[in-house]
Structure formats: C-alpha cells, structure tokens
Amino acid sequence: MPESEPWEYTLYIPNDLRAVTVARRTLRLILTMHGLIRLTDTGELLAAELVSNAVRHTTGPAALRVRWSAGVLRIGAWDADPEPPEPPGELGALGEEGRGLALVRACADLWGWQPLARHGNRGKYVWCELAAA
C-alpha cells in the first residue's frame, strides 16, 4: 500500500546522456521503496523522456524531481534553458526525434511546463503526473 504522507526527491544530474539511465534506475528504486511498483514502468518511461530532453537539448546541468502527494505522482525535469519545450507532435507522424513529449502526453494523466527563475538563474521545469488510482 502506498504511503499517504507526501514525499519528494531531487536528483541533480550533469549534462551527460548516461544521466538518463541513472534517472530511470533511481526512479524505479524510489517507487519500489514507497510501494508504488505499479507505476514504475510508466514512470521510468516518462522520467527517461523528460531527462533525455533536458540533457540533449541544453548545455547545462539538470535535475529530476519526483514527488508524491494526495495520490498523485509528479515527475519533472529541470534544466537551465528558459526556452519553452517544442510542442509535442503526433506519435504516429514522428520519427526518432521529437517524440519525447508526445510520449509524455500520451502516457501521463497531465503534463506541462513552467519557466523558473531563482537566485539570478533561469531555466524551466517540465513535469507530468500519474494518478495512483
């Protein structure tokens, strides 16, 4: 049974494609330890797409944030580029490039992005949500 108390983890990652695998495995461990095993496969896919976009399309560091609150799992990726993400296309019409956010849109219950500014640093946070029910 998943915990009812909210929790949050943040994994800071370098701009390195290996970070995608680290993020996936870290997310799987977090969800397993919190009894949310049924969300791991979809959660891993979503985290991999968000982190992959953050690492591939920016030059600075990034972070994966995983939060559980009120029966909803929020997975997000922060990067240092304040530009909005490219809008997702249609999955069937896309090649290998450009399908990340289309997968996120198709698999998540909700997704979005927001610009961030903190201590003079700018960037964006792209997130998605999965309901436990």
Q: Are 44 and 54 in contact (CB under 8 A)?
A: no
Angle at 98 between CA 96 and CA 104, to 5 degrees: 105
DSSP 14: -
What is the spatial order of strands in the sheet that 62-69 belongs to?
7-13, 62-69, 72-79, 121-131, 110-118
What local confidence, expressed as pLDDT, does residue 91 receive? 53
Q: State pLDDT tens for residues 81-132.
A: 888 888 776 655 445 556 788 899 999 999 999 998 877 778 999 999 999 8
Report the alpha-carbon distance of residue 45 to residue 4 in Å, rounded. 24
Phi/psi zone of residue 128: left (φ > 0), alpha (ψ -120 to 50 degrees), beta? beta
What local confidence, expressed as pLDDT, does residue 132 receive? 86
Report field, pTM of the whole predicted structure over 0.75: yes
Reference 46, options 16, 7, 80, 88; nearest CA is 88
Q: State pLDDT tens for residues 39-90.
A: 999 999 999 999 999 999 888 889 999 999 999 999 999 998 888 888 776 6
What local confidence, expressed as pLDDT, does residue 83 receive? 87
HEC secondary structure over 91-103 = HHHCCCCCCHHHH
